[in-house]
Amino acid sequence: MSRYLKDIDPYHHLVSTSVSHRDIIGMNAIPYIDFNQKHIYKHTEKIPGIYPDYIQTFGKPYVVGEFGYRWEDQDPKYATAANYDYRRGLWYGMFSPTPVLPMSWWWELFDDQHMTPYLQSVSTINK
């Protein structure tokens, strides 16, 4: 499919795919995929070590497409832990060799956890 997309796209968009918390053998080596990514749940601390390994092994940029706690987790500390983990994930991406900061799917917590000032601070440092 990635070759087909490259063949029909007159604008030369980047092509990627997205995989949950596991690797699919051979997928990261597909030559028509421009950058690799996967999702990391409940193991945000592993993010810094992921980038160098994948970039060196496959010779392409690497992105953490989603990270954080799983939505299924019913722990009452979810919001507090998610807030902390989200901040940590952003910093790991900020100082790692990736073109895109790790992406969170916790959009429903941003307002409740007052994340806008924090995101603005990260944006300022990034600039």
What is the tens place of the pLDDT at every residue in 34-89?
A: 999 988 887 888 888 888 988 999 999 999 988 876 656 556 665 555 656 777 88
Position 41 scores a pLDDT of 80
Per-residue pLDDT, 56: 94
> What is the average pLDDT value for the chain, to the nearest integer?
83
- Name every residue whose Cβ is closer than 8 Å to that of residue 104 and which is 6 or more positions away in sequence: 66, 67, 68, 86, 89
Nearest-angstrom CA–CA distance, 67 and 18: 12
- Domain ranges for the chain, please list them: 2-126
pLDDT of residue 50: 86
* pTM tops 0.85, yes or no: no
Rounded mean pLDDT of 77-104?
Answer: 77
pLDDT > 90 fraction of the chain, expressed in percent and rounded: 30
- pLDDT at residue 15 greater than cutoff 90: yes
The SS3 call for residue 67 is: strand
Q: What is the structure's pLDDT at 118? A: 81
By 3-state DSSP, what share of the chain in percent is helix, strand and coil, each rounded to 5? 45, 10, 45
